[in-house]
Chain A
Amino acid sequence: MEKFEYRYPAGVTAGGRAMVGVVGSGDLEVLLEPNAAGTTTVSVTTSVNGYGGVWQAQLDRVFKGALVGPDAPAVQVEINDFGATPGVVGMRLAQAFAVLGAGSGVGSASGAASGGGS
């Protein structure tokens, strides 16, 4: 098991929270909560050791690129990973921000769509 922390530029403070995914084989859990404007923090706990470089590269792609981007709401991201591929990580993060945007929070956060991740 390994832990990593990352910081990215972000927009205004998020207006809610969101939770998607499961800590199951090849999948991960993502929790989003509001953070101070301007910064998004990402805290990763993963079951697979030795992939720090891959996490850095994939999270850079997500938070600096088009998938989430630097104008997205500022959040604290918690990731609990059980061996998800970078592609699944990207999709779960995009799904979490979509749920955050829809304002449905936790009660309906992991609708039928979340079954498609693994």
Chain B
Amino acid sequence: MSATPDFLSRDSFVERDARARVQALVDDGRFRELIDPFERLVSPWLLRQGVVTQSDDGVVVARGEIDGQPVVVLAIEGAFQGGSLGEVGGAKIAGALELAAADNRRGVPTRALLVLETGGVRLQEANLGLAAIAEIHAAIVDLRRYQPVIGIIAGTVGCFGGMSIAAGLCSYLVMTREARLGLNGPQVIEQEAGVAEYDSRDRPFIWGLTGGEQRYRTGLVDTYVDDDSTALRAAVIALFRRGRPAVERSQRCEQFLARLKRYDPAGQVTAEQVRQLLAEGAES
């Protein structure tokens, strides 16, 4: 994809932790954190199950500016419990999105940027995590009436489960080659469908179907970028400048469903077939 010197000079976004990712995205690296780690709003459920908590519950809520406009950046830490969302982390994201919408109703044009690195609901918190994710969905749909909501999926965790639906509700999505986006993770599909149909250890196969490049080529993602912090920030700025899309992607679901109906599940699907099926006549 690129020469070695180019690769070495890159500032990897994937390798940054959630807080450092926020720093790379906002203007001048300056932001104010809401419900910061020292408030110790940790999960009340993990400790009871013998699981060590993280002081921010794996979610960074940051206010700052991007391209000179007010923004709230919501970054999930993929290294903590697989980026899973429980009661607290989920409420932090939903609450921040709701505040951004309230800002807009008061005439302050706050936008939202989600850095999605998550396996979805935190199994130890079960229904509370599910409820929080439903609140996030509702809050994205509310906020996108005023401002575009952008999601970044950089990898290496990717974005799965209920939060893949949140990604689908975003006005715009940015992905890298390292990231994957899917409703169910590969191991879950393998368990349900059988290893013959879906081998979760076959990495080229998995990335071929759910990786960033494929999602971009099938019209489910708007911008496909290298793992480079400067490139990601530039991509976000360009998308915010587009303003709200005339029609949100999730409102075009009938188009996607019509194309899926033409799919014959009798044989094993290939990445190329999916591209032909979904990308045909697709608008991004």
Inter-chain contact B55/A31, CB cutoff 8 Å: yes
The number of chain A residues with a CB under 8 A from chain B is 28
Chain A interface mostly helix, strand, loop or mixed?
loop
Inter-chain contact B38/A106, CB cutoff 8 Å: yes
Shortest Cβ distance from A101 into chain B, in angstroms?
Answer: 18
Shortest Cβ distance from A10 into chain B, in angstroms?
Answer: 19
Inter-chain contact A108/B80, CB cutoff 8 Å: no
Name the A residues within 8 Å of B16 (CB-CB).
112, 115
User: Is A72 positioned at the interface, with any CB of B under 8 Å from its CB?
Assistant: no
Name the B residues within 8 Å of A24 (CB-CB).
77, 79-80
Q: From A24, which residue of chain B is reached at the shortest CB distance?
A: B79
Q: Mark B42-54, 1 if CB is under 8 A from A, else 0.
A: 0000010011111
Inter-chain contact A81/B54, CB cutoff 8 Å: no
Q: From A114, which residue of chain B is reached at the shortest CB distance?
A: B17
User: Is B269 positioned at the interface, with any CB of A under 8 Å from its CB?
Assistant: no
User: Is A87 positioned at the interface, with any CB of B under 8 Å from its CB?
Assistant: no
Q: From B53, which residue of chain A is reached at the shortest CB distance?
A: A80
Name the A residues within 8 Å of B11 (CB-CB).
112
User: Is B19 positioned at the interface, with any CB of A under 8 Å from its CB?
Assistant: yes
Name the A residues within 8 Å of B18 (CB-CB).
22
Shortest Cβ distance from B126 into chain A, in angstroms?
Answer: 20
User: Is A118 positioned at the interface, with any CB of B under 8 Å from its CB?
Assistant: yes
User: Is B31 positioned at the interface, with any CB of A under 8 Å from its CB?
Assistant: yes
Having A23-B52, A46-B52, A106-B38, one finds 6 other A-B pairs with CB under 8 Å, namely: A17-B38, A23-B54, A23-B80, A31-B37, A31-B38, A45-B53
